[in-house]
């Protein structure tokens, strides 16, 4: 179970967490490249389409489409990132170090730190260990994960014996 929690709680689209309580670190920059971009200022949304690549710190997100939802001046709290939510659809692949996630859709709420991966075979990997399900919900702030199946496909997990102390190898 420890390997699963470590595997799943290490994936996030948000800026790296502040490791020191006394020092406030600015959110990491987000760089996105794509074939096309459509912005809707009145809705605080920017959509990127076609071979989208989003890079933040040491994380890379690839997808067919990525929508970035921003806080409005009324909803943003002090010290909070401008990015409220990131929704990636179509051939989603997320990499952070040796950790990877694959799904049809990834929806990340930066405020509540909840990542929802959905698809026929949503999958998380760290080293050689992995878990699959129809819907994988990671509650990063709570170090909790819920993996759901369908009537046809059950949740599957594989824990590699070579991973150190039952946890995935660190990058």
Q: Indicate whether 122 belongs to any domain.
A: yes
CA distance 112 to 40: 24
> Which residue segment(s) compose the domain that 61 sits in?
2-14+28-72+80-163
- Residue range 152-168, pLDDT digits in tens: 889 999 988 886 544 43
DSSP 161: T
Q: Indicate whether 38 belongs to any domain.
A: yes
- Residue range 21-41, pLDDT digits in tens: 334 455 568 899 999 999 877
Q: Indicate whether 145 belongs to any domain.
A: yes
Q: Indicate whether 22 belongs to any domain.
A: no
pLDDT of res. 40? 75
Q: Indicate whether 85 belongs to any domain.
A: yes
Beta carbons of 7 and 126 less than 8 angstroms apart:
yes
Which pTM value belongs to this model?
A: 0.76
CATH number at 132 reads 2.60.450.10
- Domain count of the fold of the chain: 1
- Determine what percent of the chain is predicted with pLDDT higher than 90: 40
Q: Indicate whether 57 belongs to any domain.
A: yes
Q: Indicate whether 94 belongs to any domain.
A: yes
pLDDT of res. 50? 97
Q: Indicate whether 170 belongs to any domain.
A: no
**Stretches in the chain below the pLDDT threshold 50:** 1-24, 165-171
Residue 167 makes CB contacts below 8 A (sequence gap 6+) with 2, 3, 6
């Amino acid at each position: 179970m420890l390997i699963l929690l470590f595997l799943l709680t290490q994936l996030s689209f948000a800026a790296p967490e502040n490791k020191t309580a006394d020092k406030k670190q600015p959110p990491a920059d987000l760089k996105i490249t794509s074939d096309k971009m459509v912005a809707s200022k009145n809705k605080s949304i920017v959509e990127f389409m076609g071979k989208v690549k989003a890079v933040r710190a040491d994380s890379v997100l690839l997808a067919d489409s990525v929508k970035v939802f921003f806080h409005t001046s009324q909803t943003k709290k002090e010290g909070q990132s401008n990015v409220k939510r990131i929704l990636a659809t179509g051939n989603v692949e997320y990499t952070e170090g040796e950790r990877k996630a694959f799904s049809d859709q990834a929806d990340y709420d930066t405020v509540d730190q909840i990542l929802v991966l959905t698809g026929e075979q949503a999958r998380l990997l760290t080293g050689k260990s992995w878990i699959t399900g129809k819907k994988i919900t990671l509650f990063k702030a709570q170090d909790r994960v819920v993996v759901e199946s369908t009537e046809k496909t059950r949740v599957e997990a594989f824990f590699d014996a070579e991973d150190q102390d039952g946890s995935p190898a660190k990058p």
